[in-house]
Amino acid sequence: MANPLHACLLLALLFLALAFFHPGGVAWALSSSGGHGAAAIPGPPGVLLAFAGPNPHRTLARLAASRGATRLMAFSVGLTRFVVASHPDTAREILAGAAFADRPVKEAAAELMFRRAIGFAPNGEYWRRLRRLASAHAFGPRRRRLLQLASLDNVMASVFGVGLGELGEGAVSELEEMVKQGYELLGTFNWGDHVPLLRLLDVHGVRRRSRALASRVRVFVSKIIEEHKRRRDAKYGGGGGDDDGDGDFVDVLLGLEGEERLEEEDMVAVLWEMIFRGTDTVAILLEWVLARMALHPDIQSKAQAEIDAAAAAANGDAAGLPYLHCVVKECLRMHPPGPLLSWARLATRDAHLDHLDGGRAMVVPAGTTAVVNMWAIARDGGLWRDPGVFRPERFLDEAADVGVGAGCDLRLAPFGAGRRACPGRALAMATIHLWLAQLLRSFRWVPSGDGGVDMSERLNMSLEMEKPLICLALPRT
Ligand code: HEM
């Protein structure tokens, strides 16, 4: 072998070794961006495999704490630069910061049409239009009465104007199966998202499977759109017509005119996202709440006493149940469905974060994926008294001022914050409160068998119970 070749190989190896040991790892070593006078963001060297494991939120929390990098930690996954904030101050800077108004789009999300839906549309006029539409029509006051229904059926009714029963047996299981597959694909760790060569090869088959699923979704949702078009034609004689308030979200989309009008492909994406997001998170949270109820009979009895005493609850109105609301908040604190606020943010330009130790700003370069570890924040002993203890009463005393809104207290923000905060928060909270009030009023929830409840968790798309909850629901007399 010629000497120049040896020298080149040696240099390349030296560079790789240096890159490997760079704070934050390989992707940070390759980054040229950085601000003058800004401090380097601390972080582990090499390439982190946290996302390939079952509970990356725990791994990242441990790493950040051990490196004294809870405010901000840099790390690399393949060639992707990441930062993670495990502190409310830096979390706010990311979630509310104008520089972090985009989201990174995984290959599965792009293939499953989510780039044209609210969650992954780039910050801009199209995304603003969709948010306006969703808050005015899908989650707005006119839809409030639909909150009296529940979960998938609820979302299907408010979005598509059909209950699951009306779709027929086969369609229901097809829909369930499509949502499940979508979650699986989005939850799969895909090296292709972080190493361009592997993306070309589609090593996990994510692209192939996502495309196949997207075709099925198109057919399914297009059928519902066609059905609505037929109904509208029959009603308005083909001349269109305003949404008179009786229509569902499909009617609203079909009634848009001029610049507001959406292409059919965009409508499919927006409607698919609504079903997709509206089902899993709420069902998973309810499972955690019931598990907690079975584990803590004293807390369960207290919530039931409140429900029994509230005449309003007998009408299915969960609004006047402050203790029940605390139970749900405590579950969101200990078991947030999106512990890493699953839908990460992307820095669209170099962003200066100021709330860092020692008063020195740090610069997060454009193109970096920013994650907030809400799980770590909600378990921080410096912010919460006895963070590992399930105690809903904390929201009546020392943490009485902490809400779960998109407001300013980032100690508990399971729905995110800032302009891209979850638009489904009110729908989700109303559904959970309503379901829980009904389930606790009618049944006593007790562990089955040996008296234990397995609280192990696993982060797929959402933070799920590793083993489905098994407990007894004994009718209350
Ligand atoms: C317990 C239930 C739910 C939880 C914990 C939850 C959590 C979240 C979180 C953490 C985000 C990212 C926020 C951010 O980046 O700041 C988000 C975004 C979003 N959620 Fe939810 N969500 C829930 C239910 C729902 C429901 C029921 C819907 C709709 C039917 C929904 C629709 C959306 C949409 C469209 C976005 C993207 C917003 C955007 O990028 O502009 N979510 N959600």
Q: Which two tokens stand for residue 238?
A: 């083909």
Q: At what angle do helices 297-309 and 322-334 cross, to 10 degrees?
A: 150
> Rounded distance, CA 316 to CA 455, Å?
29
151 C-alpha to ligand 1 centroid (Å)? 14
Whether 420 is in the pocket of ligand 1, judged by its Cβ within 6 Å, is: yes
Dihedral angle of Cα 393, 397, 399, 401, to the nearest 10 degrees:
120
277 C-alpha to ligand 1 centroid (Å)? 7
Atom of ligand 1 nearest to the CA of 462: 5
Atom of ligand 1 nearest to the CA of 420: 41
> Rounded distance, CA 128 to CA 108, Å?
23
pLDDT per residue over 87-132, tens digit each?
A: 999 999 999 999 999 999 989 889 988 889 999 999 999 999 999 8
Per-residue pLDDT of the chain in tens (477 residues, 90 and over written 9) = 457 777 777 777 776 776 777 888 888 988 765 555 567 899 998 777 777 788 999 999 999 999 999 999 999 998 899 999 999 999 999 999 999 999 999 898 899 888 899 999 999 999 999 998 888 776 654 554 444 444 445 555 555 665 555 666 677 788 888 988 998 898 888 888 888 888 888 888 999 999 999 999 999 889 888 888 888 887 776 555 555 555 678 888 888 888 888 998 999 999 888 878 877 788 899 999 999 999 999 999 999 999 999 855 455 555 689 999 999 999 999 999 999 977 899 999 999 887 666 667 789 999 999 999 999 999 999 999 999 999 999 999 988 888 877 666 899 999 999 989 998 888 888 888 988 998 999 999 999 877 689 999 999 888 999 998 999 999 997
422 has binding-site annotation: yes
Q: What is the 3-state secondary structure (H, E, C) of 392-441?
A: HHHHCCCCCCCCCCCCCCCCCCCCCCCCCCCCCHHHHHHHHHHHHHHHHH
Q: Which two tokens stand for residue 170?
A: 């086969």
Residue 284: Cβ within 10 Å count: 19
Domains parsed from the chain with CATH numbers: 24-475 (1.10.630.10)
What's 39's DSSP letter? Answer: B
366 C-alpha to ligand 1 centroid (Å)? 24
> Rounded distance, CA 458 to CA 135, Å?
32
Whether 272 is in the pocket of ligand 1, judged by its Cβ within 6 Å, is: no
Whether 77 is in the pocket of ligand 1, judged by its Cβ within 6 Å, is: no
pLDDT per residue over 9-39, tens digit each?
A: 777 777 677 677 788 888 898 876 555 556 7
- Best mutation site among 415, 419, 429, 462 for ligand 1, i.e. most ligand atoms within 8 A of its Cβ? 415
pLDDT per residue over 363-380, tens digit each?
A: 999 999 999 999 999 999
- Best mutation site among 120, 155, 277 for ligand 1, i.e. most ligand atoms within 8 A of its Cβ? 277
Instruction: Report in angstroms the alpha-carbon separations of 140 from 124, 245, 248, 271, 425.
Output: 22, 11, 12, 16, 12
Whether 192 is in the pocket of ligand 1, judged by its Cβ within 6 Å, is: no
> Rounded distance, CA 340 to CA 462, Å?
9
232 C-alpha to ligand 1 centroid (Å)? 31
Protein residue closest via CA to atom 8 of ligand 1: 415
341 C-alpha to ligand 1 centroid (Å)? 9
Q: What φ, ψ does residue 407 adopt, rounded to 5°? A: -75, -150
